[in-house]
Structure 1
Amino acid sequence: MSMSTQTHVISQAATSLSSSSIMAGKGVESWSRLLLLWLYRIARGLLVISASLDRDKLQLKSPKRGSRNRCLNILWRCLVVLTYVGVWPMLTSTMVGKRMESYADVFALAQSMSLFIFAIISFVIQTRSENEFREVLNRYLSLYQRICRTTRLQHLFPTKFVVSFLLKLFFTLCGCCHELIPLFENTYFDDIGQKVAVAFSTYMWLGTLCVLDACFLGFLVSGILYEYMATNIIAMLKRMEPMDSQDEAYRMSKYRRMRLLCDFADELDECAAIYSELYQVTNSFRRILQWQILFYVYLNFINICLMLYQYILHMLNDDEVALVSIVMAFVKLANLVLLIMCADYTVRQSEMPKKLPLDIVCSDMDERWDKSVETFLCQLQTQRLEIKVLGFFHLNNEFILLILSAIISYLFILLQFGITGGFAASEEVKNRFD
């Protein structure tokens, strides 16, 4: 590969990354840290995280074993789960109706029941894996500081982080309002027991949504850190261009060139160590929250199905279009698409160094540099990032098409079921459930 071709490849990679506005200003960084700090405080209030933050060391401190606060947290979470189990019929009545009249109602009830079971499993697993989750967060915080030192940057959160965070927060709040507002009807506040039940169920559901949003946020942070590391390697290659030039090589002494190449080899070794740690922490994050990620996908998919069911039911029975159901179906679909695209973005950024001419630049000039490049490229081949949930599916952009095809198929089944009288009231179903 000629020198002009090398320069073109490196410049093209640098342009593609710089066009994504990777460099963040002080204002964007302050906004990002403020959003993350408030998310941490909300997570502590919802008992998603019980560890305190040491701002000096930028690490989460674990509570002492056997401490009074830890025991109270466990008892509180058990009480929340038990209360949520008790108010489940009241929660499902807002989605599928208070009375079963057709086989379509029974199917919608089964869908809602599966969400309830998943919510309990997700809450229990999150509670049991809290220590591991805290360790992963600490590793992310350590990586943040390490990448800042390596890239010599003070700001690692670009504008895309703030925009993505706020967009995801908007969709979460829209879905939260639609799901929780019906609980605050006057019919649910006849006595103190119902008030307490609604408060506990709301508290648990908000904690569940906080954990599910953490799945999106973790992949987003991993993708951004991968992108910064790729940009750092591109900048290093551009600094090495004069050494690979024949004109500059004659002006530079052999000792000077060898010394610079050893420095660049050390820098590449440090990048390789960071890539290895980032790969491991991303995989640990996926492993710890894989049930929550599965619940995230299942929750939004089933909610889309329930929204379509309500839309078809209103359209056939009342001769009116339930626009709220259609809007909420799009909100849930946007939630799902954001997670999948964010996971796909992380995988693509992790593979960016493979497209760079590391094995061409300054090749055969120094054995130390060639060995570092070979080790780094072999590491990228063995540590190939794949975000796969419980061995069922890969979170990539192709999975969005699979979700869309499943939703369209479900919509056609609903239409056919409704046209053939499947939504009509059945005395058999009424009698069985009465």
Structure 2
Amino acid sequence: SLVYTPEAMRFRGIPVYTNTPIRGAQRGPGQNQIACAIEPLIDKAADQLGIDRLAIRRINAPNNKSKVGGNQGPVTSAYMREALNKGAKAFNWNAKKRQTRKRNGSKVIGLGIGQAYHSAGSSGFDGLVSITPDGKLHIHTGVGNLGTFSHTATSRAAAEVLKSNWENCIVERGDTRKGLPWNLAQFGSNTSFTMTRTNYVAAMDAKRKLQEIAAKDLGGSPDNYDVADEKVFNKSNRSTSLTFAQAAKRAIELGGEYSGLEMPEDLNPQTKRAVAGLAGTGLIGVSKDNLEKSGTAPALAAGFVQIELDLETGKYEILDYVGVADCGTVLHPQGLETQIKGGGVMGFGMATTERYCYDPQIGLPTNIAFYQCKPLSYLDVPADMKTVAVDKADPQNPIGSKGIGEPLQGCSASALLCAISDALGGHYFNRTPVMADQILNA
């Protein structure tokens, strides 16, 4: 994990085969489990060294010069220290830490901080936009709908390049008959970084063609022209212009690359078929993402939690939670807020309720319903969960964006585990989930 970057490390893994069913991660395979294993040990180290738990994380926080992976490759950007600072301020860490382990009858206060990482961006995929003779900008995207609205949030990149009014844009998605380019599937927190890049390069190709058509019809060179408000205009005389609708009609007349009858050779076959289906319907902007990417794009997240733990029942109540995202430039503030909160709730369940039990003889699950392996609900979390974004641009994305989906679970899960250990005076379980019976027997 990028969060933990020791100068020297030896790792030994031993596979253990069992007779239980094959299982996969719910969100963030591998990385969130690492956060749950290591974050409580960071607290243990801080306690033995006499260092504040926030301070030890600040000291060791990854930055833009950090290396990641077995080959110790570079990262595009990393602002974990800024995430910790913003989270601590929103959480009011300095005031709350004076309440830690404070007891009221059988109940005791515990605080926890969690950090998590997941790689969050790829490159080399295709972008496709079209401007039709009615002047509408169609942004074609292969991004699906996971409930995060990222199909449309990432499409805004194309609209910003062409300075189009959003009301005049149509996002084409969900059906290959609409002419969808080759895009990366939605996994691994990749969408924001990867798909803003593809939409950007497609829009830049469309902008170039708009400028060239204007130069052909109105005179001058393409560099004399710019775009805004569904027009391509001469920079020195904005009245010398073509509307997008007029330019789309001219693209059809000119044919070739302007109307999609010709296309770049480096496109994926799926994108070539999409362009062929759109050819002759307007001005086509299409390109492969060949922008620079010289490192891993990391999603980083931090969580701060305060709980009240009942030592007689083993039950806890979450009093306060702050989730922080280092996701570059924020694309969709409301969508990000939902991601942070949703990841937080899933992390709390991962940490304390979602225990799998198996028959020791035949390996079949013995808890077969949600109430026996309970994901948390609205009744189990604070009514007000705070969210914060670092909002510092990633330099290898044209609009500065990175993914964030997966580590939001790992940071909340590890923060809650640390808070439970804190309330118990530093007892470390070295496992997940930590259930009420285990707390009572700690």
TM norm structure 2: 0.24
More helix by share: 1
Which structure: greater strand fraction? 2
